[in-house]
Amino acid sequence: MDRATATLTAAAPRAARPRPRPRPLRLRPAAKVVLFVVCLLPFAWLLRGAVLSTLGENVLGANPAEALIRATGDWTLRFLCITLAVTPLRQLIGKPALARFRRMLGLFTFFYGCVHFLCYSWLDMGLVLDDILRDIAKRPFILVGTSALLLMLPLAATSFNRAIKALGPARWQALHRAVYAVVLLGLLHFFWMRSAKSNYAEVAVYAAVIALLLGWRLVARARPVRRAA
């Protein structure tokens, strides 16, 4: 074997060796359980506060009913923002596997919205349907909140694999764009409520976060699609 052939045969196995691929993000099944427990923590904390308040302990302040309604409203808006942050985050850090958590986060948003509505209906309205309906019609910020919650209903109801199959991906995606209306109505509801006391500091923070999350999507959509050469 001459030197040139020897060099070629020696180099061949090295050239055929596959290039090391970036390691995929390993999100074990336990991650979903951990997320589920973490998402339940605010609820558990508020439930503890409610129970202790009924036992006469002053853990929720002077007005426990108001504290519960407000805290559950806050968590609904926070979960909406967290759910909307999944897509930008997974694209920014290049981890598509994060999409696995979006459905659970969306359902927790709906859960906190329902708890918020239940707190209001029970603690503010004494579960009297007539009073609830009259209040929704009378106070515009309550009407806006109710519209947001009602819009979330079909999203929660179609968040399962069977519904995605039945609707088809295109129609399912179009329906789930309603989440943008939900977050804007939620923000308007919050703004309207706080405008009574001209207290806009927190509203401004949420507005900035929501503008960033929605603005990011607009920019991503406007960006030209790169074609493979």
Least CB distance from residue 96 to ligand HEM, whole Å?
Answer: 28
Residues 6+ apart with CB under 8 A from 112: 42, 43, 72, 75, 76, 79
Least CB distance from residue 200 to ligand HEM, whole Å?
Answer: 12
Length reported for the chain: 229
- Name which of 21 and 138 has its Cβ closer to ligand HEM: 138
Site for ligand HEM, rule CB under 6 A: 66, 69-70, 73-74, 76-77, 113, 116-117, 120, 124, 136, 142, 145-146, 148-149, 182, 186, 189-190, 193
* Cα distance between residue 223 and residue 96, in whole Å: 19
- Name which of 9 and 199 has its Cβ closer to ligand HEM: 199
- Name which of 50 and 90 has its Cβ closer to ligand HEM: 50
- Name which of 59 and 184 has its Cβ closer to ligand HEM: 184
- Name which of 111 and 120 has its Cβ closer to ligand HEM: 120
Least CB distance from residue 209 to ligand HEM, whole Å?
Answer: 13
CA distances from 146 to 117, 118, 135, 136, 203 (A): 8, 12, 11, 8, 19
Question: Long-range pairs for 34-40 at CB < 8 Å and ≥24 separation?
Answer: 35/101, 35/104, 35/105, 36/104, 39/79, 39/104, 39/105, 39/108
